[in-house]
Amino acid sequence: GEQKAATCIACHGPGGNSVNPVWPKLAGQHEDFLYKQLQAFKLGERQNELMAPMVAPLSDQDMRNLAAYFAAQETSASQGNPDALEAGRKIYTGGNLQSGVVACTGCHGPSGLGNPMGGFPRLASQHATYVAKTLRDYRGGQRANDMNQMMQGIAAQLSDTEIDSVAEYITNLQ
């Protein structure tokens, strides 16, 4: 996995810790989740003009090795906008009863470490820009590889302000 990951450094950074906030950190992400995402890109279930040619030559074993490598790496810390943290914390930990948004903690845990057995990814320390884009992509239907369209349904209930706030909160989780 480490040898294959050399190509990934350009976008996802050394050890999977991207410094560009539009590209996700892969370090510390759950192995099965990473593998599923690589498969989705390869099969065209998840669209991205940069990722499609990167995964095209990968074998199933290559994808498994990459997933194992990145899962074993330590995630670097991030810091979000302090002005949005309280609003984001409220949504992340308690949801929004008025709009029907459930708390993020139910699937991703109080510390954002996710639930690998349930297929829920680690969110802690992920770039706020990437998280916000992902939520908007779910809301708009550009991303649809979520289990039972769960994230699409949740994101559809979030306002842009709520998305930005919860993304800033998530980036501060360790």
- CB 28, CB 71: distance < 8 Å: yes
- CB 138, CB 152: distance < 8 Å: yes
Q: What is the pLDDT of residue 174?
A: 86
Residue 11 DSSP SS3: helix
* pLDDT at 80 exceeding the cut of 90: no
- pLDDT tens across 1-24, in order? 999 999 999 999 999 999 999 999
Query: How much is the pTM?
Result: 0.94
Percent of the chain as helix, strand, coil, to the nearest 5: 55, 0, 45
Residue 115 DSSP SS3: strand
- CB 137, CB 143: distance < 8 Å: yes
Within 8 A by CB and 6+ apart from 146, the residues are: 138, 152
Percentage of residues in the chain with pLDDT exceeding 70?
Answer: 100
Q: How sure is the predictor about 107, in pLDDT bands with cuts at 50, 70 and 90?
A: very high
- CB 20, CB 11: distance < 8 Å: yes
Nearest Cα neighbor of 2 from 10, 20, 14, 11 is 14
- pLDDT tens across 112-165, in order? 999 999 999 999 999 999 999 999 999 999 999 898 999 999 999 999 999 999
